[in-house]
Amino acid sequence: MSSLHVIRYALPLFIVLITLEIFLYRRRGLSFPWGEALVSLGVGFLYPILNFLGAKLVSPWANAAYEFRPWTVPLDSWWGIVLLFLGVEFFYYWLHRYAHEIRWMWASHSVHHSPHTMTLSGAYRLGVTGILSGLFIFFFPLYLLGFEPQAVAAMFSVNLIYQFWLHTDLLPKLGWFEGILNTPSHHRVHHATQEIYIDRNYGGVLIIFDRLFGTFQEERQDLPCRYGLIGKQKSLNLVRVLFQEWFDIARDVCRARHLKELFLATFGRPGSFDRAYRERLSGSTGDKRGALGTADKPKTA
């Protein structure tokens, strides 16, 4: 089954769940963020088109890498499917983590963090420049390990579809599920802007790799999550939502004065160029906090 088939089968479920969420908002007397939902819908229309074109460009390279596999993992066996699931989950964790730590990748992923509310419609607000950021590279080890590229793409689609229901403020913590699976509570932390929550909970379906690699953070009852992009104004302009960080990278490249600043502006941790630039302007070389108040972490939830 291809990734497109997986997504097509999930669409009716998405519509039902979003309709239910809107109903629950009205029943609880809450104001539904229609403006943000419409922007997300626009992104949702563009994403599969540009993702399809990107897949066409990547496919020959993925197939070429697959030809160098020392063996083939049989996907007609239960253990082959389990290995594929765990492999996609593992490499997705690192893709997601580096998409927060490398600005060139963050330029694409930041689109997903731009909503100031946590609703199901934000789940499909995904960056359309993933091919430019090189996000696809993280799955190449799976091809070399014997997993067929089309199967990897389909499993990755399943992973993303699972994450759809995580984008809500309406569900509480879910007991023992919290110890193993990624849940709405864990994902609210991932999107939150408070310093204790920033750059945490990168898992797709599972939360075990976050626990293993030290990036797990539990949602605190005394610290409700706030959302959005730190240092960025809320916008309902589709072009700005999609390309704002790329515009900022271009601006910072023009402001760079030497190779270190050029690297920070493009491949450094998001916010690190801002810190270096302000230190240069102030003539300071001391080890200060980041320009927006967190050490090299001013950019995301």
Predicted confidence (pLDDT) at residue 296 exceeds the cutoff of 90? no
Query: Is residue 136's pLDDT more than 80?
Result: yes
Mean local confidence (pLDDT), 148-171: 95
- Print the SS3 string covering the chain: CCHHHHHHHHHHHHHHHHHHHHHHHHHCCCCCCHHHHHHHHHHHHHHHHHHHHHHHHHHHHHHHHHCCCCCCCCCCCHHHHHHHHHHHHHHHHHHHHHHHHCHHHHHHHHHHHCCCCCCHHHHHCCCCCHHHHCHHHHHHHHHHCCCCHHHHHHHHHHHHHHHHHHCCCCCCCCHHHHHCECCHHHHHHHHECCCCCCCCCCCCCECHHHHHHCCCCCCCCCCCCCECCCCCCCCCCHHHHHHHHHHHHHHHHHHCCCHHHHHHHHCCCCCHHHHHHHHHHHCCCCCCCCCCCCCCCCCCC
Q: How confident is the model at residue 284 (pLDDT cuts 50, 70, 90)?
A: low
Overall average pLDDT of the 146-154 stretch? 95
- Mean pLDDT, to the nearest integer, of 145-165? 95
Question: With bands split at pLDDT 50, 70 and 90, how would you rate the model's confidence at 223?
Answer: very high
pLDDT at 274 over 70: yes
The pLDDT tens digits for 226-264 are: 999 998 989 999 999 999 999 999 999 999 999 999 999
pLDDT higher than 80, residue 141 = yes
How much is the pLDDT for 225? 97
Does residue 295 have a pLDDT over 50? no
Q: Does the pTM exceed 0.85? A: yes
